[in-house]
Amino acid sequence: MPRPHVQYVETAAPGVRLWTERRGDPDRPALLLIMGAQASGLGWPEELCDALAARHHVIRYDHRDTGRSTPAYEKEPYRLTDLAGDVTAVLDGLGAGRAHLVGMSLGGTLAQLVLCDRPDRVLTATLFGTRALSTAPLVHADGTRTAAADLPGVDPRILAEWARPVVDHGVEAELDRRVRHWRLLAGEDVPFDPEYFRDLERRVVAHTGRYVPSGAHARADQSGMDRTDALAATRVPVLVVDAPADPVAPPPHPRHLAQVTGGGAALVTVPGMGHALPRPVLAPLARAILGHTAGP
């Protein structure tokens, strides 16, 4: 496979540019990977990127304030919806008119925003580790309903970890913190490999050139993200990946998201998957994505 190609693209915000990386045949349909909050594009494992590049021109990128993209928030605070604009900026900058979107966590939120606001740019969407941008209730098989606001929240252990102040005690201590965080996010159904995640974060730190996270995405304005009607009206093919061990968007959030999207999105379960991408889930996740992008 040809060596990945790196390119910077400009956003709508003056002076803000994004690091992007492409791999695979550029004549194949584009597939854009959208990572979660505070996460560099290197959070998408090489093994997964290569598997998807067998059929697609795969693109991953660094959000603002992550990786090698512009650290922008301190100079000019932005809204999370602005990060959805960055998705189309990446497509524009790389000359990709439409793309398959794959979004994890905040990336799944941004993919929903693009799906609703710019459906002309989306071939398909695959969403996981995320909650529906909809206030519509979850309708159960017996006809009873659960309000969206009453669906399960984030695991208290994750909330406690997020509430802990990040103190600079050096790079190794920061790697310890990140591995501890991944251990919680990964859930308890797949054996946890701390060295796998430590190596991942070492590569992120080397790529970024710094190890203290900015926290910008947690501080960004989260208003204006409800897309109840637009989600229900979408006709773009959507796949929701059910991660049964996800402590951030636990079941039945995936079923709710599938139900409120376009009259019923496809739903597939990756056994043991949590809010992370350890090796055991990569092959089944790649199969699910590729099966979806191949169409009916």
Active site residues: 105, 246, 275
How far apart, in Å, are the Cα atoms of 47 and each of 134, 170, 286, 295? 33, 29, 9, 23
**Overall residue count recorded for the chain in this entry:** 296
Q: What is the DSSP string of 21-53?
A: EEES-TTSPEEEEE--TT--GGGS-HHHHHHHH
The tokens 């959805």 sit on which residue? 84
How far the first Cα of the chain sits from its last, in Å, is 27
> Residue 107: which of 72, 63, 67 has the closest Cα?
63
Nearest-angstrom CA–CA distance, 241 and 127: 6
